[in-house]
Amino acid sequence: MNHSPSAPRLLREPFGRLADGTTIERFRLLGGGGFEVAVLTLGATVQTLRVPDRHGHAADIVLGHDTPAPYVSEPRFFGATVGRYANRIAGGEFVLDGVTYRVPANDGDHALHGGPEGFDRRVWSVVEATDGVAPSLQLALVSPDGDQGFPGTLSARVTYTVSGESELAIAFEATTDRATLVNLTHHGYFNLGGVEQGGDVLDHLLTIHADDYLPVNAQAIPLGGPASVDGTPFDFCTPRAIGARIRQAHEQLRRGRGYDHNYCLDGGRTARPRLAARVEHPRSGRVMELLTDQPGLQFYSGNFLDGTAVGKHGRLYRQSDAFCLEPQTWPDAPHRPDYPSARLDPGETYRHVSVYRFSAR
């Protein structure tokens, strides 16, 4: 879809209502050549991401739902903004300045993605929607003191910007009035082959710029310090198919039912986004490059998709139908002083910028 200079590149439309009558809106940000990002006010969620292939044919490459209800009744974080703390906090509790805080467990004994009522289940408010050459949308959420057990009133914002032909930047900011923890991320489920026609992601060629990863216990909590990927199925320093070694008899693959591990990105937290990962789908030619300023990248190979979720286009989502690459602070950092810190104090601003750059070859 090519747009003239005068054609709108940001469209605002209703997406339906929640059970309590709350209206959910969808904003469509249009790039060039059919590139399109659709964002919901529910969960600040990317509901659609249309990307052209090598022949110029655009397809939706992210899992999601066609109506608001499943995002709330069957939360699987499809395309959502997750927080206050992305990933896991062991035991659902942490100590900050000598005080113990408890987050309700929603992943066995542990708190996952901010607890059972995390940011993915909230309706975000619209701050600004900007049309033009680089259409953008800024959404905001205020999380009160004690929300899901976290201290401090947190004011969070996320800005989606489409630039060039096919580039999406996601920028997070947050401030607090008391010391707290913050770790926000975009939880997209990607399949560069297109989600309408189906198919798994095991043939996708993945590169991750990390020499180390975090081994986990049987409940996906890090065991300790980083371990080298060298000589293991976790080595994606050079392009390898996601499925090439996913069924090797490696204890870490057994524990995660595949890949569900944090990669310790080379260079740690950086001042500006740098290339962290690249994924190529050989058949369509679609390529996704992920740039981020975060110190970690959670790679998840869709292991727990079990065919019970009905997604867009009436499809059932099954194991390995998508992959996630979640830029973030390392999991369980509140219990690991040797990990990058997730602490945010009054007067500071949490910032996280990730860029998703698409092309075809």
How is the chain split into domains, by residue range? 10-360
Query: What pLDDT shows up at residue 197?
Result: 86
Distance of CA 256 to the CA centre of its chain: 18
Tens of pLDDT, residues 54-108: 999 999 999 999 999 999 998 899 999 999 999 999 999 999 999 999 999 999 9
Say if residue 11's pLDDT is above 90.
Answer: yes
Separation between Cα atoms, residue 4 and residue 1, nearest integer Å: 10
CATH code of 10-360, in short, is 2.70.98.10
**Nearest C-alpha neighbor of 355 from the set 301, 294, 268, 302:** 294
Query: What does pLDDT average to over the chain?
Result: 96
Q: Is it the case that residue 137 has pLDDT exceeding 80?
A: yes
pLDDT tier for residue 6 given thresholds of 50, 70 and 90: low
The residues that are catalytic are 187, 326
The neighbour count for residue 351, using CB atoms within 10 Å, is 11
Q: What is the pTM of this model?
A: 0.97
